[in-house]
Structure 1
Amino acid sequence: MKKNKICLVGGGSTFTPGIVKSIVERSEELNLREVVLYDINEERQKKVAVIVEWILREQLKSDVILTVTTDAEEAFTDAKFIFAQMRVGGYKMREKDEKTPLSFGCVGQETCGPGGLAYGLRTIGPMIELIDQVEKYALEDHWILNYSNPAAIVSEACRKMRPNARIINVCDMPIAIIDMIAGSLNIADTSEIKYDYFGLNHFGWFTSITYRERDLLEEIKHYVNEHKILLPPQYIERLKENRATGDRHAVSSWIHVWESVYTMLQAFPDYLPNTYLTYYLLQKETVEHQNPDLTRANEVMNTREKALFEGVDKYLATGEVDEASFHAGSHGDWISDLAVALLNDTKSRFLVITENKGAIPNMPYDAMVEVPAYIGENGPEVITQEPIPLFYQGLMMQQLNSEKLIVEAYIENSYEKALQSFSLNKTIPSVNVARSVLNALIEENKSYWPELN
């Protein structure tokens, strides 16, 4: 049997070393021959490739071929899997996505609210171009596993513009939440945690979580109510220490998100919310908490980004690698396990973003929803859910239509539909604010967005 080639689009990402490690650790299950890093930023990708090469040769002792390229034909020719992790505009544009809305009193976040809509308009074109390039060069039975943000808008654009694409859109945030739950409840083996979930991407709820015979949903609700945060004990202790000493990590934006789970559960205790619902249900409090001069983009650039590239420089100068300088975790494991399930027809259960087609009976047939599915060689077999209560359906419909309108704005070059999308989004308080934020983001995205008339 011919061995497989896997391509990472966005090879210059700080997540790339960890993802490659996860892929290569599954070499046998993936029948792996070659890993390709593909990025339009050659300088950045070359630096990341230094660490990737070290992981392959020194840490894993692997003979898997590593190819590093900026050429689409070379990257995709005969590829079986394409892992897409694009960040169109880089952290420079993410910073604008976050800070510009804040200047108008709106949530500043990269995938939610006006920042997410801006990011979506930047990403639709490159994603459609990627699908066309992969279709041209890759194996006929290829799969694109897309976790490029904002996944909800990207998946809707793919559904509408390339309905026959062999693409599965996914997000690892629910997995990150499960990891936090496992840590909080002292569970080591997350592979035995099973859960049900419904929603849109970055906009959903866990309806059940079990571990063997244990009902973790009720346990974690009690834990959050007691600790007033969804973080494991060791994180909570470190947070207390940081606050006592005035350490900057005590006010990092991500802490507010995990604390907000408590507030949301106090109001709506039936289901455990995805942490991203903070931005929609606690808009006012989120804006008040955010620092308009130091947003999450700055935090990431000052930590994960800085650590990786300083680690590369140290390795090139001394030959020594600090493994803490690159990120490896459940993100890479999960996406690699998804590829294993597709290749080996395992029918393993994953959470995917997929066209509804009745999976949630009281949501539109063509809605791109996030629900569990069994994954085999033919793609997702979606698990049908019960009808969802009116409150949650109403929230989802408002968000869904905001996302649909921004995709239509892209396709039709429509300023009016963009304004409708912004006005409908729950993070924006009025049509006047929506117009002001939209106009400001148009100026900042002139080289990325289509012209809106």
Structure 2
Amino acid sequence: MKKYNIVIVGGGSTWTPGLLNSLVKKKNEFPLGKLIMYDTNGERQAVIGEFARVLFKERYADLDFMYTTDKEMAFKEVDFVFCQMRTGGYQMREKDEKIPLQFGVIGQETCGPGGFAYGLRSIRDMIQLIQDVRKHSKEAWILNYTNPAAIVAEAVNRVFNDDKRILNICDQPVNLLRSYGKILGMNPYEFEPVYFGLNHFGWFKHLYDKNGVDMVPVIKKIVKERGFAPADAEQRDKSWLDTYAMVEDMLNDFPEYLPNTYLQYYLYPEYKVSKMDPNHTRANEVMNGREKRVFEECRRVAAEGTVENAHVVHNDAHGDMIVEVAESIAFNKNSLYVVIVENNGLISNIQDNAMVEVTACLGINGPRPFGVGKIDTFYKGMIEQQLAFEKLTVDAYFEESYNKALKALTLNRIVTDAKKARKILDALIVANEGYWPELK
């Protein structure tokens, strides 16, 4: 069986230990010859890298492993690039979340003004990364987790439209599928989902079991009777438990489909902002919680020289998905995943060049997506407004256009007011000096 060479971009991420653990779990099904971790922050990456040395010594002894800040060493002759960058780190995420709150608007990592700011920072680095990878490994598959995935996918598609080995993915649909499986007592890998929308802005229309029975009506009934929680609720911070709990509200108001949890920010912006603390946002929760836990545990493992009794993995779904996607491509398994692709009629009554999130078979030639046909007026209107925001955001980046940026924020359902949009934009411009193009 062929052994594959992969590089993890963003090796210093708190999500990396879980990804490493997933590679260990899959070492027989998806064997590796070489694994490289790459990050521009060498000090941060070294903590995770030394944990990885101990992990592989005990559980993957024949793996050729290294971590580096050198692009050529990282990207030369690799088969897969797993990308999870965070331009600006948690310090900039904190600003993304707190600046909008100063103006009474939701501050969130990937939604609204926070996602807008993060997206404008991510585009430049993502384009540079792809160019660097293609310089050294022209045929490598680039599997991209970098947020905000919708904006990043739109920008990447404009620049690298002919590159068919770039795939933008998100683990939230998989998290939801695992949660559905838990409440149904079923194996989520046996589901056949029918999903449509944009990233962090979509719905499960159907969810068929292995006998072809649609489980969506059953899930709706259970959620209305018992509420909803993530499959890994015991590992989640309180903000995530609150996020999943809102699914019940969304189903009460809009009962047709099972919603992505992120839709709560767009459907209930006034309610959600009223529950947010402008002095302590999700970024603070992560920095004081998961961030500290993961790095402290990695240091402990490295010092003790064993991964026995290690508690460093957070959210198996994140790591498992990207490894399983690579496995499905490498071995032409044609497994089903929700991925981001160019529309081209998949949702037949929105524009073809939209980057939509739908179910696809994944094999050696990449995704073969399934269409969902026409969608009704409410969902079409929601998607088209959000799509216009995403496209205008990317326009603003490439055209260095203040006006396009203002239009994007004004259209976003989380903002909606042009005077607020201008104030938020001006504050974000100051905060993102050096990260954004100069908007004129």
TM-score range with shorter-chain normalisation? over 0.9
Please report how far the alpha carbon of residue 347 of structure 1 lies from its aligned counterpart in structure 2 after TM superposition: 1.5
Please report how far the alpha carbon of residue 21 of structure 1 lies from its aligned counterpart in structure 2 after TM superposition: 2.1
- The aligned residue for residue 261 of structure 2 is 275
Please report how far the alpha carbon of residue 3 of structure 1 lies from its aligned counterpart in structure 2 after TM superposition: 3.5
For the residues of structure 2 that align with 1:231 and 1:28, how far apart are their CA atoms?
32
Please report how far the alpha carbon of residue 232 of structure 1 lies from its aligned counterpart in structure 2 after TM superposition: 6.5
- The aligned residue for residue 243 of structure 1 is none
Residues 1:81 and 2:80 are matched in the alignment: yes
Residue aligned with 2:373, SS = coil
Change in CA separation of 1:75 and 1:390 when aligned onto 2, cut-off 3 Å = same
Please report how far the alpha carbon of residue 193 of structure 1 lies from its aligned counterpart in structure 2 after TM superposition: 2.0
Please report how far the alpha carbon of residue 26 of structure 1 lies from its aligned counterpart in structure 2 after TM superposition: 2.6
Residue aligned with 1:82, SS = strand
- The aligned residue for residue 221 of structure 1 is 220
Name segments (4+ residues, structure 1) moved above 6 Å.
none
Question: Contact 2:17 / 2:312 at 8 angstroms: preserved in 1?
Answer: no
- The aligned residue for residue 112 of structure 2 is 113
For the residues of structure 1 that align with 2:4 and 2:166, how far apart are their CA atoms?
18
Residue aligned with 2:131, SS = helix
Please report how far the alpha carbon of residue 319 of structure 1 lies from its aligned counterpart in structure 2 after TM superposition: 4.0
Residues 1:435 and 2:422 are matched in the alignment: yes
% identical equivalent positions: 46
For the residues of structure 2 that align with 1:310 and 1:435, how far apart are their CA atoms?
41
Structure 1 residue corresponding to 2:338, chosen from 342, 346, 351? 351
- The aligned residue for residue 298 of structure 1 is 284
Please report how far the alpha carbon of residue 311 of structure 1 lies from its aligned counterpart in structure 2 after TM superposition: 1.1
Residues 1:337 and 2:312 are matched in the alignment: no
Question: Contact 1:253 / 1:290 at 8 angstroms: preserved in 2?
Answer: no
Change in CA separation of 1:117 and 1:36 when aligned onto 2, cut-off 3 Å = same
Residues 1:14 and 2:14 are matched in the alignment: yes
Q: Give the aligned residue type for 1:49.
A: G
Q: Give the aligned residue type for 2:247.
A: V
For the residues of structure 1 that align with 2:277 and 2:41, how far apart are their CA atoms?
30
TM-score by length of 2: 0.95
Q: Give the aligned residue type for 1:94.
A: R
Q: Give the aligned residue type for 2:181.
A: A
RMSD in angstroms over aligned alpha carbons? Answer: 1.9
> 1:14-413 alignment to 2 at 5 Å?
14-58=14-58, 60-138=59-137, 140-165=138-163, 166-187=165-186, 189-213=187-211, 214-227=213-226, 229-231=227-229, 252-319=238-305, 321=307, 322-327=309-314, 329-413=316-400
Residue aligned with 1:275, SS = coil
Change in CA separation of 1:375 and 1:316 when aligned onto 2, cut-off 3 Å = closer
Give CA-to-partner distance per residue, 1:298-334, whole Å, 9 cap, x none. 1111221111111133234444544213325021111
For the residues of structure 2 that align with 1:234 and 1:42, how far apart are their CA atoms?
31
- The aligned residue for residue 244 of structure 1 is none
For the residues of structure 2 that align with 1:133 and 1:324, how far apart are their CA atoms?
34
Q: Which runs of 5+ in 2 are unaligned?
A: none
Please report how far the alpha carbon of residue 297 of structure 1 lies from its aligned counterpart in structure 2 after TM superposition: 1.0
Q: Give the aligned residue type for 2:52.
A: V
Give CA-to-partner distance per residue, 1:106-145, whole Å, 9 cap, x none. 111000000000000000000000110111101x321100
For the residues of structure 1 that align with 2:329 and 2:67, how far apart are their CA atoms?
25
Please report how far the alpha carbon of residue 11 of structure 1 lies from its aligned counterpart in structure 2 after TM superposition: 0.5
Q: Which runs of 5+ in 1 are unaligned?
A: 240-247
For the residues of structure 1 that align with 2:151 and 2:401, how far apart are their CA atoms?
16
| Higher helix content, 1 or 2 | 1
Please report how far the alpha carbon of residue 452 of structure 1 lies from its aligned counterpart in structure 2 after TM superposition: 0.3
Please report how far the alpha carbon of residue 30 of structure 1 lies from its aligned counterpart in structure 2 after TM superposition: 3.2
For the residues of structure 1 that align with 2:176 and 2:231, how far apart are their CA atoms?
15
